[in-house]
Amino acid sequence: MINFQDVAVDVASKTAWVQAGATLGQLYYAIAQKSSTLAFPAGVCPRYGTMQRKHGLAADNVVDAVFIDAKGRTLGRSSMGEDMFWAVRGGGGNTFGVAVAWKVKLVAVPEKVTVFRVRRTLEQNATTITLLTGSAKYKGKSDYVQKPISETVWEGVWKKLDELGPLAGALVMIPYGGKMAEIPASSLPFPHRAGNLFLIQYDVFWNEDGAEAEERHVDWIREMYSYMTPYVSQNPRGAYMNYRDLDIGMNAVEGKTSYREARVWGVKYFKSNFDRLVRVKTAVDPENVFRNEQSIPPFSL
């Protein structure tokens, strides 16, 4: 998507058209060139402040899209219909087609606070990048926490973190609540709204080559995940789809994937929204042209 990186900001309407190949840095820069009091609540991975408690997710602020479906048609929101538009905003990657551009709603932020947060965040992120960019291999997992976790449990976490040495393993806690709790779980495919205190992102990094090193690090993160089982969401044990985790289930590598097989991982990412995603997939891509290990299958499969 390197040839699709344009960002067009409209200050008057507080919107921007963002081509799908643009990085978040390019989006933030384009907005800053036009306004010091507008921003976009994108992901937390670039550490651009966690605005989701005030403004919701990036997907909550998408108002239109340019999309190519399995038949090669170029569609907008009005031509794809509300069910497809609902599904493509966080419904399993390129499960339904290819997004070419998004129209997003920009949010107002106090000018002085914005400048302070960006400067402070960039300094922190520079340190993180320096420490982690040497890591060639990575695995991540995720959990949702709905009840406070005791100090004794956290002491066990600290011990587990010490097992691999500095910077090999990490837990990132991302706060929920606020706007996240106000938006209904069915408003988008992403369902993890009210009732969640925070998301845990488990990370493990390593540089060593060979099966032994990979097994040691992957075993560590799976053990950490197992240790946290009693203290996180249950029935289903939720997961965040952008931290793709094939441990929780995957489609058949060869042959056809059934709805029953896919539902094992599907309800962890999407809860009851999974069934609606399957209905949309069945309508727009019945031959399953767009598929991967954790793509939404059509019901016919």
Kind and range of the H or E element at 30? helix 24-34
SS3 state of residue 223: helix
User: Annotated active-site positions, please?
Assistant: 243
How many residues can be counted in the chain? 301
Q: How far apart are CA 19 and CA 39, in angstroms?
A: 17
Cβ 117 vs Cβ 71: under 8 Å: no
SS3 state of residue 299: coil
| CB-based burial, 49-65: b 16+ in 10 Å, e otherwise | bebbeebbbbbbbbebb
